[in-house]
Structure 1
């Protein structure tokens, strides 16, 4: 059930103010779609809206905290009221919280990261899927797709990324179940899960949008500082751009493809993890081929 002709259709995108979300919006507008933009950062949201309007695409922008069910519900109602239907839903908003040794992660880090990365996807699914299914029942020609942004961290488990990885593993699992659940009831609506590796976006500096009530006032541990530095370096030095990933996603939409990867070469780590599980091996050390780096990291952490 690939969706090829998207002209005149409607895309809703969370996290649309920057990074992948902004590129999804540009790609959708470039294909003749109307676009509903949602983000928690007002200035970034306004910037994306201006860009889409310059392209001549119908667009609206809404400030939405995806961790709040009522705000996502309002977004769904606004989208329907403005454009009459939703054909593509990008549950894309995400933050890179909770780095460091997993036992050092504060409750506020857990709540913030789970709230955006997991509950944001859950709220999107809960509030938009019924609207898409109703559209399918009303029109045999209707086709819809939900694209959930997970991560390569949802398929492997690296050190110092426990909180983020937990949310992204959950998004992969929820997406796989959503795929099967939708297949039970319709052939007009389906879904995909995006698992990018490091891509140059603003996610490494997510703290700029962190709610005041979820700010961790404690000074970061050595491991948390190292995790943040590694994340910033990897994101900023990626050779695959957000616009390239957006193109990959729209190609997958046209090909009715569920799993979407930005860095096929990273799949060797996924294969190794799966073999560990199948063979009941202890988890393979992801830094085994970089012993000097592993030693320096352990020394810097201070344990």
Structure 2
């Protein structure tokens, strides 16, 4: 897809982070935008910003873990714009701690947003995009799913997040192959950012009441939260720069999108362990001081 002018983009998690920057960059490219988020005030802010610029915008509150709400988003998109060209399955949340200490509510929440949010987006919007292609000989479509470097490795105290992002990697690679198999005029990309200053470490702000934990966070969960806050804040590339990389990948029909190539060394070691049947490597092998800091926090 070389030209974004007048194309329709649907963006989940559009109120902040990558989603907001996808929207801003899409607006500069002349796109019509459908914005979805669960945080209404953030969604309203982005909507107002873009409308002031003269952008055609449809903004809807949407919990992507709910199939009926994603279906409503799709219905509203078609009613307003009559087509979908680019889909950003971007909404995501984070949670950490020793994997056995995570509650059923933790699993339901993170997998609901990070995995089923992408599943619902692919399941509902891909047929719509294929139908759009039937009525437009020049149609080009693209789906971008936001995973993480965490989907290519398995650092400790990030269990639920790791599981969810590995699922998105598998889902997106399979989506790419399935689209190629039927020779669809739609492609796909997988966004695997490293640490980028966004609001992912503040995900609890949007956690539904029915998925709150009765018990206080464990020591490991507090340690994971502290580590996440510092790591995210330390990111050297901005969400706006990641958006630029993502749009470049769409133009070039490039599947894998990374904000930082350095962590791929750990991904390579993991694959070598699998092929050579070695026990899993230590992801902190080259930065042992970080591991010791984390271990010290777990003892408090």
Range class of TM-score, shorter chain: over 0.9
Matched, 1:147 2:144: yes
Partner SS, residue 147 of structure 1: strand
Q: Kindly report which structure 2 residues correspond to 1:185-264, keeping only aligned pairs within 5 A, or say none.
A: 185-264=182-261
Q: Which moved more, 1:12-21 or 1:283-292?
A: 283-292
Partner SS, residue 94 of structure 1: coil
Matched, 1:60 2:58: yes
| 1:279 to partner: Cα distance | 1.1
Q: What is the rounded CA distance, in whole Å, between the counterparts of 2:233 and 2:290 in structure 1?
A: 20
Q: What is the rounded CA distance, in whole Å, between the counterparts of 1:212 and 1:232 in structure 2?
A: 23
Q: What is the rounded CA distance, in whole Å, between the counterparts of 1:248 and 1:291 in structure 2?
A: 31
Q: 2:81 aligns with which of 80, 83, 96?
A: 83
Partner SS, residue 58 of structure 2: strand
Runs of 4+ in 1 over 6 A off after TM superposition: none
Give me the CA root mean square deviation. 1.1
| 1:190 to partner: Cα distance | 1.3
Q: Is the 8 A contact 2:227 2:294 kept in 1?
A: no
Q: What is the rounded CA distance, in whole Å, between the counterparts of 2:237 and 2:147 in structure 1?
A: 17
| 1:4 to partner: Cα distance | 1.0
Q: Which residue is equivalent to 1:276?
A: 273
The runs of 5 or more residues in structure 2 that have no matched partner are none
Q: Is the 8 A contact 2:130 2:184 kept in 1?
A: no
TM-score normalized by structure 2? 0.98
Q: What is the rounded CA distance, in whole Å, between the counterparts of 1:6 and 1:166 in structure 2?
A: 33
Aligned length: 300
Q: What is the rounded CA distance, in whole Å, between the counterparts of 2:297 and 2:62 in structure 1?
A: 39
Partner SS, residue 168 of structure 2: helix
| 1:277 to partner: Cα distance | 1.0
Q: What is the rounded CA distance, in whole Å, between the counterparts of 1:295 and 1:246 in structure 2?
A: 34
Q: Is the 8 A contact 1:30 1:55 kept in 2?
A: no
Q: What is the rounded CA distance, in whole Å, between the counterparts of 2:186 and 2:224 in structure 1?
A: 38
Q: What is the rounded CA distance, in whole Å, between the counterparts of 2:196 and 2:69 in structure 1?
A: 28
| 1:293 to partner: Cα distance | 3.6
Q: What is the rounded CA distance, in whole Å, between the counterparts of 1:6 and 1:100 in structure 2?
A: 41
Q: Which residue is equivalent to 1:38?
A: 36
| 1:185 to partner: Cα distance | 1.6
Q: Which residue is equivalent to 1:18?
A: 16
| 1:96 to partner: Cα distance | 0.5
Q: Kindly report which structure 2 residues correspond to 1:115-126, keeping only aligned pairs within 5 A, or say none.
A: 115-126=112-123
Q: Which moved more, 1:207-216 or 1:292-301?
A: 292-301
Matched, 1:179 2:176: yes
| 1:288 to partner: Cα distance | 2.0
Q: What is the rounded CA distance, in whole Å, between the counterparts of 1:300 and 1:16 in structure 2?
A: 34
Partner SS, residue 297 of structure 1: helix
The runs of 5 or more residues in structure 1 that have no matched partner are none
Q: What is the rounded CA distance, in whole Å, between the counterparts of 2:53 and 2:104 in structure 1?
A: 43
